[in-house]
Amino acid sequence: MRHTEFWARMEKALGPGYYDVWADQYVMSELGGRTARQALDAGFTPKEVWRAVHHALELPPSER
């Protein structure tokens, strides 16, 4: 997964006005206590971060 696909999925899941804020503020234990953006900046792959986001948002399996 590329960063562009990750951000497109975030926007689809959370909406255009909220996904960016959520990525900067919501801390996930699966990412070592980081936000999605911090995890990406720290070198986590977009796929790893998406798995954590998918779990946190309790999205349906079809959104994996």
In 15-43, which residue ranges form alpha helices assigned H by DSSP?
19-25, 36-41
pLDDT at residue number 2: 97
- Per the rule left: phi > 0, alpha: psi between -120 and 50, beta: everything else, 27 is beta
DSSP state of 33: S
Average pLDDT over the chain, rounded to whole?
A: 95
- Say yes or no to pLDDT of 62 above 90: no
Q: Which two tokens stand for residue 37?
A: 């953006």
pLDDT at residue number 64: 81
Q: What is the pLDDT of residues 12-40, one digit of tens each?
A: 999 998 999 999 999 999 999 999 999 99
54, 12 contact by CB (below 8 A):
no
Q: What is the pLDDT of residues 36-55, one digit of tens each?
A: 999 999 999 999 999 999 99
Domain hosting 43: range is 3-63
pLDDT at residue number 16: 95
Total of domains in the chain: 1
Q: Which of 60, 23, 59, 63 is nearest to 44 (CA)?
A: 23
